[in-house]
Amino acid sequence: MSLPMRIEIHEEGPREGFQIEKPGFSIADRAGLVEALAQAGLPQIQVASFVNPVKVPQMADAPELFRAIRKQPGVRYTGLWLNEKGFERAVAVPEVDLEGVLYFYTSDAFCRLNNGVSAQAQAQDQRRWVERYAARGVPVRKAYVLTAFGCNFEGAIPQERLKEVLADMASLQDEHRIRLDEVYLADTVGWANPRSVSERVELARRFFPHARIGLHLHDTRGTGMANALAGLQAGVDLFDASVAGLGGCPFSGHAHGGAAGNICTEDLVFMCNEMGLETGIDLECLIEAARLAERIIGRRLDGRVMHSGSLKAFPTRSR
Sole binder of a copy of itself in the list 226, 235, 282, 288 (CB under 8 A): 226
Whether the CB-CB separation of 278 and 232 falls below 8 Å is answered with no
Query: Quick check: 5 binds a copy of itself (CB under 8 A)?
Result: no
Q: Of the listed 111, 151, 249, 285, which one is catalytic?
A: 249
- Residue 166 vs residues 15, 158, 202, 306: alpha-carbon distances, Å: 27, 13, 12, 37
Q: What angle do CA 282, 284, 286 make, to 5 degrees?
A: 70
Sole binder of a copy of itself in the list 182, 194, 235, 282 (CB under 8 A): 194
Sole binder of a copy of itself in the list 145, 148, 228, 281 (CB under 8 A): 228
Q: Which residues pair with 11 in a beta bridge?
A: 45, 241
- Interaction pattern, residues 8-27, with a copy of itself; x per rule: CB under 8 A: --------------------
Distance CA 287, CA 61 (A): 27
Sole binder of a copy of itself in the list 24, 74, 137, 253 (CB under 8 A): 253
- Interaction pattern, residues 277-296, with a copy of itself; x per rule: CB under 8 A: --------------x-----
Distance CA 309, CA 192 (A): 28
Comparing CB distances to a copy of itself, the nearer of 1 and 54 is 1
Comparing CB distances to a copy of itself, the nearer of 73 and 251 is 251
The nearest distance, CB 261 to a copy of itself, in angstroms, is 11
Distance CA 316, CA 252 (A): 42
Collapsing DSSP to helix, strand or coil, 37 comes out as helix
Collapsing DSSP to helix, strand or coil, 61 comes out as coil
Distance CA 83, CA 116 (A): 10
Binders of a copy of itself among 141-180, rule CB under 8 A?
150, 152-158, 160-161
| Sign, Cα dihedral of 129, 82, 243, 190 | negative
Question: What angle in degrees, to the nearest 10, is found between the helix axes of 224-233 and 194-207?
Answer: 40
Known active-site residue 264: no
* # residues contacting a copy of itself (CB under 8 A): 58
Catalytic residues: 249
Footprint of a copy of itself (CB under 8 A): 1, 3, 150, 152-158, 160-161, 190-191, 193-196, 198, 219-226, 228-230, 250, 253-254, 257-258, 260, 264, 267, 270-271, 274-276, 291, 300, 303-305, 307-311, 314-317, 319
